[in-house]
Amino acid sequence: MNLTEYQSKTLLAESGINIPKGLVVDRGINAGVAFSSLGLLEGVVKAQVPAGGRGISGGVRFVQSSAEAQDVATKLIGSRLATLQTGPDGIVVRKVLLEEVIRAEKEFYLGIVVDRSLGVPTIIFSSEGGKSIEETARTRPGKIYKEPVDPLLGLNHSQSEAISKSSGLFGEAALNLAGIIEALYGLFLRMDALLIEVNPLVFSEGKFVALDAKMVIDDNALFRHPDISSFKEAGEEPMERDAREGGISYLRLDGDVGCLANGAGLAMATMDMIRLAGRIPANFLDIGGSAHHEQVSSALRILFSDPEVRVVFVNIFGGIIHCDLIASEIVDAVRSMRPDVPIVARFEGTDAEKGKKIIIDSELPIIMVSDMEEGIERIKSL
Give me the active site residues, please. Answer: 109, 197
Nearest-angstrom CA–CA distance, 334 and 77: 36
- Phi, psi for residue 299 in degrees, rounded to 5: -60, -45
**How many C-beta atoms surround the C-beta of residue 256 within 10 A?**
17
Residue among 20, 28, 29, 100 nearest 64 (CA): 100
Percent helix / strand / coil, the chain, rounded to 5:
40, 25, 35
Q: If you write DSSP's letter for every residue of 216-247 in order, what string do you get?
A: EE-GGGGGG-GGGGGGGGTT--HHHHHHHHTT
d(CA 310, CA 247): 25
| CB-neighbour burial class of residue 330 (10 A; exposed 0-12, middle 13-18, buried 19+) | buried
Is 324:311 a contact under the CB 8 Å cutoff? no
Across 56-140, where does the E strand assignment appear? 60-63, 80-81, 91-92, 96-100, 106-115, 120-126
What is the distance between the alpha carbons of residues 250 and 287, in angstroms, rounded to a whole number? 8
Distance in angstroms (rounded) separating the CA atoms of residues 183 and 174: 14
What does DSSP say about strands 257-261 and 311-318: parallel, antiparallel, or unpaired?
parallel
**Which residue type sits at 154?**
G
Q: How many CB atoms lie within 10 A of CB 42?
A: 12
Phi, then psi, of 341 in degrees rounded to 5: -120, 145
136 with 144: CB under 8 angstroms? yes
